[in-house]
Amino acid sequence: MPLVVLLCGVLVLYPIGFLINESLNVGDPSTFPPEQYGFDNYTNLIDDAHILGNTALVASIATVLAVLFGFLQAWILTRTNIPGRQRLERLMELPYYMTPLIGALAWGVLLGPKTGLVNQAWRALGSPVDLFNIYSPYGIAWVMALFEGTIAFVMISASMKSMDPSLEESSRVLGAGKLRTALRITLPLVAPGVLSATIFVFAEMLGSFAAAFVLGIPGRFYVVTTAIWEATLSFPPDYGRAAAMGLSLFGVMLITLTLARLVLRHGTYTTITGKGFRPREMDVGRMRWPLLGIAWGYIIVAVILPLGALMLTSFERFATVILPQMHFTLANYQTALQMGSVGPAFVNSLTLGISVATIGVPVMGVLAWIIYRSRMPGRGVAEYVIMFPQAVPRLVFGLGLLWAWINLPIPIYGTLWLLALAYFTVFLPLGLRTIAGVVLQVDPSLEECARVCGAPWIYQMRTVTLPLLRPGMVAAWLLIFIASVRELGVSIFLMGPNSKVIAPAIVNSWLSSSSELSAAMALIQTATIFVAVAILFGLARRVTGVTQ
Amino acid sequence: MHRYAARVLSTALVCGLAWLSPIAARADGACPTPRQMDGFKTCADVAKAESEGSFVLYSTDPEAGSEAELAKFHAMFPKIATNYVRLQAGALYAKLSAERQAKAYLVDVVQLSDISFARDFEKRGGYMSYVSPEMAAYKAEYKSQPEGLWTWGAISMAGIAYNPNLVSKDEAPKTWKDMLDPKWTDSVTVKVSTSGMQHMTWYQMRLLYGDDYWQKFAALKPKAFDSYVQQFDRTVDGQDKVIDTAQYSGYLQFKAKGAPIEYVYPPEGLVAVPEFWGVVKEAPHPEAAKLFLDWFLGVPGQQGYGETLFYNSIRDDVPAPAGGVKASQLKLLFPADWDAFLKTHTQFVREWDKVTGLR
C-alpha cells in the first residue's frame, strides 16, 4: 500500500518540482536549469489580478451550472422510473466525447452575435437585437458547464446508484413529498458524490482552456489558461510566468479541498451497510412525463444542437452560418479520412484510453481506499498531492512532464509508454474523486466483518470492497477512457512522430487549416468513441453478466 | 623542350583548375558535383538516404497540406518514408528545445515560421550546415550567413481583407492608414502577440506612420486571434468586416472555396515574413534530410508547396499559387535591419497585449 502511494506521489511531484523550479526562474527562460532565481513571477501576478478575477468568475458560474445540471439529470436517470433511461444515460455522455474546443466552436455557430443560427432566427421574428451573446463570460461558463458537466453527472450518478432506496421509501411512507424526499434524503445521502464532483469540476473549470480560448478572446475576455497559452507560445517564452500562474491555482484548489474535507468529516454518509438491498428506482407516477421532458430538453440543448451545428459545418465548403452562402460538400470527410496520420492517431488514442483506464482504475481504487479507509499516516497529504495535477492547467503540467521525463535516462520519450504514464498521472484526480464518492458510502463495518472472519486484506478487497465500489469504478473507467481519448494539453508536448494522438490533430486543423475540416474530424472522433464505448460495455456485460 | 614545358604547363593548369574548382564550389558552398535528379539537384548520397529509409519533419504548416507535400516527395522516393509533427510555433519550439537540451534527437528537418525562433535555434547551434545546390536560386539575403543553415522556403504575406457583402469596394480601405478610420470600430480583427506576422506589421507601420499609429488603432477595439482561420471564418460570416494583417495564403484558400472575401494590396506594400527551413544537427537520418531539403528548395518542392498550401515561393522560376500573384510582382515590406526588428519584440508583446485587451 505505501508503495502505491509513494509511486503515485513521485509521478505527480517529480514534474511539479520542475514547474516550481521554472516558476522561480527570473533569468533566460530558455536556459535549463535556470541561472537566476527569484519571486518576480509570483509578485508580478498582481498585474494579472483581473485575469485571476475573470477565471474565478467563470469557474464559479460554470461549476454551479454543471453540478446543478448533473445532479438533476443523475437523479432523473438513476432514481426515477422514466422510460428509456439507459439510452438517455449514454446520450448524456456524448458532449464529453468531443474535444472541448470543437464544442465551443459549435456553440459559436449557434449563439454567435449577429449571425449565430439562434440569433438569426430571433431577428427573423422581428427583434432588432440578438437574443444571446456567446462571446461573454456567461457564454463561456455555459459552454464549460455543458461540456464538463458530464463529469458531474457521471460522478453523482455513481453515488446515486450505490444508494439504498429504502431510505427514500421510508421518507415517502412517513408522508414526505417527492421533492422533499429528493432534497432532504437523496441530496444529503449523495453529498460525498456531489462534493467530490463539485471539487473536481471546479478544479476542471479553473484549468479549462477551450471555451475561453474560442469564445473569450473575441470578447477580449482573458482567463488564466488563455494568458498561459499566450505566455508559453510567445518568444521568448515566458515559462516562469506561465508556471507561476498555473501553480497559483493550486492555492484555490487547496482551500476548496480543505473545506470539503471539513464538511465530510462532520457527517455520516454510509448508505451501503450490512443490510441487503437492490438498487431500484422510485415510481414517480404522473411526474414521469415532465421529468422525461426535462431529461430530453437537456439532451437536445447539450447534445443534439451542438452536434447538429457541427454536422452542418462539416458538410460546408467553407464554414458559414449565413444560409444563402452555404455550399455543401463531402470533401472534408474525404480529406480527414485520407490523412495518413489520422488512422494511426485514432488507434493510438483508443489504445491509450483502454489501457490507462483499465490499469489505472484499480490503482486509483486502492488509493481512494487508502485515503478514506485506512489509518496510514500521511493519507491526508496524499490526497492533496494527488489532486495537484487537476489544479494546474494541463498546458503547464504538460510542460512540467516534458522537462521531467525527457531528462531521465529512460528511452520512453516520443513513445506511447510516456503518454500512458502522463495520462495516468494527470487523470489520478479524476479517478480518485469518482471512486471517493462511492467509497464514503460503504459502511466500514462490512470490511471489518471480513477481517474479523479472518480474510486477508487482498481477499477482503477482492470479495467485499471492490464489488461494492463497482459503480464508482465503472464510472471512473468510462471517464478516464474518454478523457484519455480527447486529451490535448499533455499530448501536445509528449507525442512523437510515431506516437500521435487524435485531439492535437483536430485542434491543429482548426488553428491552421479550416473549421469545416476540424468539424468533420471531431464528428469522426465522437462517433468512434461512441462505438468503442458501446462495444466495450457490451463485451463487459457478456463477460461479467452484469449491467452497469 | 618547348613541348615538354607546354605539357608541364598544361598539366599544372588542369591540376590547378581541378584544385580550384572545389574551392569555387566551396565558395558557393555546395558539393563539387551535385547529382541531377528529376527537376532538382542534390549533394546528398541518394543510396544512403534510401537506406536510412525515412525522415522526420517538424513544422508549423497545416497538417493536411504538409501531408500532401510529403506525399509528393515520397512518390519520387518511395524507399523513403516521411513523418512529421505539426504544432503551433511556440509549442513546437518548446518541444524542440527540450529535446535538444536532453540530447533526444528525433527530428531531421525543421520549418520555423518565426525569425525569433530561427535565430535562437541558429544561435544555439541547432542547424546542420548543409549547402544545397538549389540554394543557388535564392538571393543571399534569403539565406543564413554563412550559407547552409537555413533558407527561406517560402514567404508569408499579409495585407487587408474584407467581406464584400458588408463593405463596398468604395468603402473598403485602400491603404494601411485607412485602417485607422473609426468606422472599423468593433469590426476589425488582428492576430495575437505570439504571431511573427503581427510583430512585423506592428514594426512596419511604426516605421511608416510613427509610434502613435497603434495607439489610434487601439481605439477601434480590435479582436485578436491565434489563427488566420478564425479571422477569415468570422469575416466571411459577417461577425467582423475587415481583417488587418490578413494572411495572403488564407485569402487564396478561402477565395478558392468561393467565400465572400476580397483582398487589398496596400500601396505601401504587403507585410512579409519568411519561413525558415533547415536540416537539424544530429539528425538521425541526415542523408534523407538533405535529399528532402534539396527537393523542397527545388522547383518540384516549391511548386508543390504553392499547390498544397497556397504559399508563395521566393524563387523567380516558380509560378504563383492558384489565384495569386507572384511575390516578385508585389511590393513587400521587409525590415532593412533584422536585428533592429528583433530587438523590438519585447516592446511589441507588451504594447500589443494592451492593444488587444490581454493586459
Whether the CA torsion B226, B229, B230, B235 is positive or negative: it is: positive
Does the CB of B64 have a partner CB in chain A at under 8 Å? Answer: yes
Q: Which amino acid is at B140?
A: A
Q: Could you tell me if residue B202 is inside a domain?
A: yes
Compute the mean pLDDT over every residue in chain A, rounded to the nearest whole number: 85
Q: Smallest CA–CA separation between A497 and chain B, in Å?
A: 6
Of B63, B99, B225, the CB nearest to A509: B63
Minimum Cα–Cα distance from B310: chain A residue: A513
Residue B23 has pLDDT above 60, yes or no: no
Chain B residues 152-211 with a CB less than 8 Å from chain A: 165, 192-194
C-alpha cell at A149: 458537466
Give A-chain residues touching B227 at CB under 8 angstroms: 510-512
Q: Are residues B119 and B165 in the same domain?
A: no
Q: Are residues B93 and B165 in the same domain?
A: no
Are residues A402 and B95, on separate chains, in Cβ contact within 8 Å?
yes
Of A321, A406, A517, the CB nearest to B104: A406
Q: How many beta-carbon pairs below 8 A join chains A and B?
A: 164
Q: What is the per-residue pLDDT for B183? A: 96
Q: What is the per-residue pLDDT for A265? A: 66
Choosing among B233, B347, B355, B359, which should be mutated to test the A contact, i.e. which has the most A CBs within 10 A? Answer: B233
Using CA atoms, how far apart are residues A304 and A323, in angstroms rounded to an integer?
20
Q: Are residues B210 and B96 in the same domain?
A: no
Are residues B192 and A230, on separate chains, in Cβ contact within 8 Å?
yes
Are residues B236 and A113, on separate chains, in Cβ contact within 8 Å?
no
Residue A429: asked if its preceding bond is cis (omega within 30°), the reply is no
Q: Smallest CA–CA separation between A112 and chain B, in Å?
A: 8
Of B64, B238, B359, the CB nearest to A513: B64
Residue A501 has pLDDT above 90, yes or no: yes
Q: What is the per-residue pLDDT for B179? A: 97
More confident residue, B262 or A216: B262
Does the CB of B81 have a partner CB in chain A at under 8 Å? Answer: no
Using CA atoms, how far apart are residues A88 and A66, in angstroms rounded to an integer?
17
Q: Are residues B97 and B171 in the same domain?
A: no
Residue A545 has pLDDT above 60, yes or no: no
Of B83, B98, B345, the CB nearest to A402: B98
Are residues A230 and B260, on separate chains, in Cβ contact within 8 Å?
no
Q: Are residues B115 and B199 in the same domain?
A: no
Of A47, A218, A497, the CB nearest to B84: A497
Q: What is the per-residue pLDDT for B90? A: 85
DSSP A129-165: S-S--SSSHHHHHHHHHHHHHHHHHHHHHHHHHTS-H
Q: Are residues B135 and B96 in the same domain?
A: yes
Q: Average pLDDT, stretch B8-36?
A: 55
pLDDT classification of A418: cutoffs 50, 70, 90? very high
Are residues A497 and B106, on separate chains, in Cβ contact within 8 Å?
yes
State the DSSP H helix or E strand holding residue A433, giving kind and residue range, or none if neither. helix A428-439
Of B94, B102, B358, the CB nearest to A237: B94
E-strand ranges in A76-149 read none
Q: Smallest CA–CA separation between A47 and chain B, in Å?
A: 8
Q: What is the pLDDT of residues B164-210, one digit of tens each?
A: 999 999 999 999 999 999 999 999 999 988 889 999 999 999 999 99
Highest mean pLDDT among A392-396, A470-474, B298-302: B298-302
Give A-chain residues touching B276 at CB under 8 angstroms: none
Does the CB of B141 have a partner CB in chain A at under 8 Å? Answer: no
Of B102, B227, B257, the CB nearest to A318: B257
Does the CB of B61 have a partner CB in chain A at under 8 Å? Answer: yes
Are residues A234 and B194, on separate chains, in Cβ contact within 8 Å?
yes
C-alpha cell at A74: 443523475
Give B-chain residues touching A219 at CB under 8 angstroms: 223
* Rg of chain A, C-alpha, whole Å: 23
CB A547 within 8 A of CB A345: no
Q: Are residues B256 and B164 in the same domain?
A: yes
Q: Could you tell me if residue B231 is inside a domain?
A: yes
Using CA atoms, how far apart are residues A209 and B48, in angstroms rounded to an integer?
46
Q: Average pLDDT, stretch B219-242?
A: 92
Compute the mean pLDDT over every residue in chain B, rounded to the nearest whole number: 90
Are residues B236 and A320, on separate chains, in Cβ contact within 8 Å?
yes
Domain CATH number, residue B39: 3.40.190.10
Residues above pLDDT 70, as percent of chain A: 95
Are residues B237 and A320, on separate chains, in Cβ contact within 8 Å?
yes
Are residues A30 and B120, on separate chains, in Cβ contact within 8 Å?
yes
Does the complex come out with an ipTM higher than 0.90? no
Give B-chain residues touching A344 at CB under 8 angstroms: none
For the structural domain made of A2-40+55-273+285-544, what CATH number should be given?
Answer: 1.10.3720.10
pLDDT classification of A148: cutoffs 50, 70, 90? confident
Helix (H, G, I), strand (E, B) or coil at A448: helix
* Whether the predicted model's global pTM rises above the 0.90 cut: no
Among A97-101, B143-147, B318-322, which stretch is predicted with the lowest mean pLDDT? A97-101
Using CA atoms, how far apart are residues A112 and A105, in angstroms rounded to an integer?
10
E-strand ranges in chain B read 35-36, 41-42, 54-59, 81-86, 109-112, 151-162, 188-191, 223-225, 242-247, 262-264, 270-279, 332-333
Among A153-167, A302-316, B318-332, which stretch is predicted with the lowest mean pLDDT? A153-167
Q: Could you tell me if residue B187 is inside a domain?
A: yes
Q: What is the per-residue pLDDT for A273? A: 58
Q: Could you tell me if residue B10 is inside a domain?
A: no
Q: What is the per-residue pLDDT for B7? A: 53
Give A-chain residues touching B221 at CB under 8 angstroms: 220
pLDDT classification of A65: cutoffs 50, 70, 90? very high
Q: What is the per-residue pLDDT for A193? A: 78
Residue B209, classified by CB atoms within 10 Å of its CB into exposed (0-12), middle (13-18) or buried (19+), is middle
The residue extents of the domains of chain A are 2-40+55-273+285-544
Q: Are residues B130 and B207 in the same domain?
A: no
* Number of independent structural domains in chain B: 2
Q: Smallest CA–CA separation between B351 and chain A, in Å?
A: 14
CB A81 within 8 A of CB A288: yes
Q: Are residues B160 and B115 in the same domain?
A: no
Does the CB of B94 have a partner CB in chain A at under 8 Å? Answer: yes
| CA angle (A444 as vertex; A443, A445 as ends), nearest 5 | 90
Q: Are residues B184 and B245 in the same domain?
A: yes
Choosing among B85, B192, B353, which should be mutated to test the A contact, i.e. which has the most A CBs within 10 A? Answer: B85
Q: Which residue in A182, A221, A238, A159 sits closest to A473, CA to CA? A: A159
pLDDT classification of B22: cutoffs 50, 70, 90? very low
Q: What is the per-residue pLDDT for B146? A: 92
Choosing among B73, B117, B257, B349, which should be mutated to test the A contact, i.e. which has the most A CBs within 10 A? Answer: B257
pLDDT classification of B15: cutoffs 50, 70, 90? very low
Q: Average pLDDT, stretch B267-283?
A: 96
Q: Smallest CA–CA separation between B232 and chain A, in Å?
A: 10
Of A113, A234, A515, the CB nearest to B349: A234
Q: What is the pLDDT of residues A239-289, one digit of tens each?
A: 898 899 988 888 887 787 787 777 766 655 555 555 555 566 777 788 889
Distance of CA A483 to the CA centre of its chain: 7
Chain B residues 249-278 with a CB less than 8 Å from chain A: 253-254, 257-260
Give B-chain residues touching A213 at CB under 8 angstroms: 226
Residue B340 has pLDDT above 50, yes or no: yes
Q: Average pLDDT, stretch B246-260?
A: 95
**Torsions phi, psi of B274, nearest 5?**
-85, 160
Q: What is the pLDDT of residues A512-527, one digit of tens each?
A: 888 899 999 999 988 9
Minimum Cα–Cα distance from B83: chain A residue: A497
Q: Are residues B57 and B182 in the same domain?
A: no
Q: Could you tell me if residue B12 is inside a domain?
A: no
Q: Which residues of A73-96 are buried (b: 16+ CB within 10 A; e: fewer)?
A: bbbbbbbbebeebeebbebbbbbb
Q: Could you tell me if residue B37 is inside a domain?
A: yes
Of B116, B234, B257, the CB nearest to A235: B116
> Domain range holding B253?
156-272+330-355
Are residues B64 and A235, on separate chains, in Cβ contact within 8 Å?
no
Are residues A497 and B359, on separate chains, in Cβ contact within 8 Å?
no
Of B64, B120, B237, the CB nearest to A321: B237
Give A-chain residues touching B237 at CB under 8 angstroms: 112, 115, 319-322
Q: What is the pLDDT of residues A352-363, one digit of tens each?
A: 999 999 999 999
Residue B326 has pLDDT above 90, yes or no: yes
C-alpha cell at B124: 544555439
Q: What is the pLDDT of residues A185-202, one digit of tens each?
A: 877 878 877 887 888 888
Q: Could you tell me if residue B198 is inside a domain?
A: yes
Q: Could you tell me if residue B298 is inside a domain?
A: yes
Using CA atoms, how far apart are residues A544 and A473, in angstroms rounded to an integer?
14
